[in-house]
Structure 1
Amino acid sequence: MRKKYGRLRKKENVIVFPGTFEKLVENGHVAVEQENYELAVEAFDQAIVYEPDNPEFLGPYAVALYETKDFQRAKEIAARLLHSGTADYVDAMELYLTISIQLQEYDEVEMTIDALIDEGIVPPDMLNKFNYLRELNGRLSDRYAQDEPSYRMELFTLDEFMKMDALAQQYALASLEGSDLTDLVPLLAIIVARDDVAPLAITFALTLLHQTGHSDELTVRKFGWEKRIVPAAMTLPGQDDLTKQVLEEVDRRLLQDPSRLEMAQGLIEKFAITAFPFGWGTHQAEEVATAYVNYIESLFSGEQLPETALNLLIQQIDNDSDL
């Protein structure tokens, strides 16, 4: 029987070999997952020629462009994603607004957020995120309006940072991605070493220091734990071998139950980011995977889990995280 390949695509009147577009998109996705954003951009640059409005790759394409500091193109792709009819409209809008802040388009960001909230487009569980995004946008707008280059290098002092709540701290640090962080390294090192900073904010500060290649050893404290770490030499959140093994084991166990699988993946990712640079202690991948499968079942059934150290740890991180 003749194999069916689907519709043929053409590029400048030349028929493209079947599967070319799909392979480019797959390569781009893999590159994003591996944080090889330059390679992802190369793949998506070719894929967009064939299907310029396909929402399958526009999101990661915009993210890859953002990470390579090509903010103007990132905004254009994010705008295409918004107009593509994507089911994740609110998430796409959050990405679009984050890019717009990098482009210092503060008035547009403010008006857009106001309109989204006034028209009830933002769901209740996302209101805090958008309100803090608006707060960050306003604060950056006030600083940049002074038109002094020094403000571009240090957006806040330690005192200002400590007066923010946890979500505002996260957005403040996230806004520094892609910037020249040279003058901010001392401040970031202080933030990492404090035990009164939100766990996620410490994670973001650590990843920024990793970005700068910071080679001094720092002491990190979270959830009563303490660890010495060199940011330049650390593995990024979720990229360690144990987390990868846990995800693989959960994928194997929940393959036939997509809803529980997605939930488990989200919980594991939340743990990896929130607890970073700490993990599940001495527990093996199979033990951790079993604990997550049982935890999800308990959420559905309402049954109480045994109060083991691992179960309590998983519940604590899930409950304490603002991710």
Structure 2
Amino acid sequence: MGKQENGQEDNVILFPGLIAKLVEKGMTSLKEKKYYDALRYFQESTELEESHPQARYGLVITNIELNRLEEARKHCESMLNEGIGQYYDILQVYVSLLVQLGDYQEVVHLLETVIAEEKLPPNMAESFYQLLDFSRQMTSDSVEIVEDYEEDSIDGMTNTEELIQNLEGGDPDQQWGAIQRLSQINSPKVQEAYRSFLKGKENNPVLKSYLIQILKELHSKETFEVHKFGETFEVNIGQLEDIFHEKFGANVLDRLDKSLSQKSPSLYEMVQQVWWHYLFALYPKSPKPLHTETWACALHILGSALIEGEETTEEIVDQYEVDEKEVESAVNHMKVIESLILTLNDSHT
């Protein structure tokens, strides 16, 4: 906990049951789908007691719910290495994460080792064997794909060029596929294709967010010029932080929670998805104006319109005491973004 000048350890006296209360709040927030609140409580718990099993497991589950699979994987891996929590329960989550992340070779290596060295619990054995069989098949298929690729293309350049062409001129589905596959190819041509895509005025802003996220996961330190919604700006991938973005998003939902969650829980859950989709489309920019009440009101109006609720726009605006024109602009912008997301999702089906 730190040291004093005389070299003595600081004596930090915790309130009785503080960690248990923080973990309980984290679990409650998780159940209520207030994931950023849950994340904060679990982080505070582990700062006070690093090896607390429930808090550490809470970090895993919360990161999964937030689609931060790499973060969840790291937390799972450290729990396994440190012997924290129920080993096989953690292992099951860890293997599922590896499958979702496409790391099938690691699944095969891990499960073959575990099966050879230990006796699996009867209630989990079938699941582990199924995951092992699936991952073996996927790694085998990957080898076949590589062999076909080597036969059909000269030194791999043809395939890369085709992917770049899809990124530059394909439909959203082809562009999304190209982004995923190009992320495994590190070359100046690919980097240049990324630059061109991010600053292209006609390219889908949601796909640009995916690409920025992938570049961040690849630990890029480069600066890229990005065009979104009529604005061109520079983004240093290495300096991107999600903290403020997420905090503002959570604050808006907390405000909306007071007005909507008790009245219509299902509607509140639906507009949560709309809100996070919208923030992701804007990423790494933040919504304007940075006014919690305005965006909570806009989401309330949008949600009410989606279910053809009885409340009028004027009645909702009065509840939040905000500028009606700013709210109208916010609602319209979210509708535009949501239509883009739906277009992208439809192209994947």
Normalising by structure 1, report the TM-score. Answer: 0.60
Deviation for aligned residue 1:102: 7.7
Measure how far apart 1:317 and its partner are: 0.9
Gaps of 5+ in 2: 1-51, 111-122, 314-323
Contact 1:173 1:205 in 2 (8 A): yes
Q: Quick check: 1:314 aligned with 2:320?
A: no
* Aligned mates of 1:291, 1:75 — CA distance in 2: 48
Larger Rg: 2
Residue 301 of structure 1 aligns to a residue whose secondary structure is: coil
Q: Shift of residue 64 of structure 1?
A: 5.7
CA-to-partner distance for each residue in 1:29-52, whole Å, 9 max, x for gaps?
Answer: 245546523123333786563448
Alignment of 1:19-58 (within 5 A): 22-32=54-64, 33=66, 36=71, 37-43=73-79, 49-51=87-89, 58=93
Q: Structure 2: which amino acid aligns with 1:49?
A: Y
Give runs of ≥4 in structure 1 deviating > 6 Å. Answer: 99-102
CA-based RMSD of the aligned residues comes to 4.5
Specify whether residues 174 and 63 from structure 1 end up closer, same or farther in structure 2 by C-alpha distance, changes over 3 A only: farther
- With over 3 angstroms needed to count, the CA separation of the structure-2 counterparts of 1:264 and 1:294, relative to structure 1, is same
Contact 2:160 2:182 survives alignment (8 Å): no
- Structure (1/2) with the larger helix percentage: 2
Look up the SS of the partner of 1:105 in the other structure. helix
Distance 1:101 1:171 in 2: 21
**Cα deviations by residue, 1:179-210 (Å, 9 ceiling, x for unpaired):** 35354222212211111222222122222333
1:72 to 105, 118, 124: 105
Q: How far apart, in 2, do the equivalents of 1:287 and 1:262 lie?
A: 19
- Once the 2 structures are TM-superposed, how far is the Cα of residue 73 of structure 1 from its aligned partner? 4.4
Give 1:259's aligned amino acid: S
Identity of aligned residues (%): 14
Q: d(CA) in 1 for partners of 2:108 and 2:201? A: 37
Q: Hey, what does 2:179 align to over in structure 1?
A: 173
Q: 1:288 to 1:61 in 2, by over 3 A?
A: farther
Offset, 1:285: 1.9
Deviation at 1:145, TM superposition (A): 5.4
Q: Describe the shift of the 1:31–1:310 C-alpha distance in structure 2 as closer, same or farther (beyond 3 A).
A: closer
Corresponding residue number in structure 2 for 1:201: 207
Q: Distance in 2 between matches of 1:244 and 1:152?
A: 45
**Cα contact 2:271–2:303 (8 A) shared by 1:** yes
Aligned residue pair count: 255
Q: C-alpha deviations, 1:217-252, integer Å up to 9, x for none?
A: 41x222323323222222359944322322343345
Partners in 2 of 1:245 and 1:294 — Cα distance?
Answer: 17
One-letter amino acid of the structure 1 residue matched with residue 299 of structure 2: Y
| Deviation of the 1:318 alpha carbon | 1.2
Give the Å deviation of 1:149. 6.2
1:274 lines up with 2:281 in the alignment: yes
1:302–1:275: structure 2 CA closer, same or farther, 3 Å change rule?
Answer: same
Partner of 1:62: 96
Q: How does 1:113-192 map to 2 (within 5 A)?
A: 143=149, 146=152, 150=156, 154=160, 156-176=162-182, 179=184, 181-183=186-188, 184-192=190-198
Mind listing any 5+ residue stretches in structure 1 that lack a counterpart? 1-19, 85-92, 109-137
Alignment of 1:247-262 (within 5 A): 247-256=253-262, 257-262=264-269
Residues 199 and 232 in structure 2, CA contact (< 8 A), matched pair in contact too: no
Displacement of 1:272: 1.6
Q: 1:217 to 1:319 in 2, by over 3 A?
A: closer
Give 1:23 shift. 4.7
Matched residue type, 2:275: I
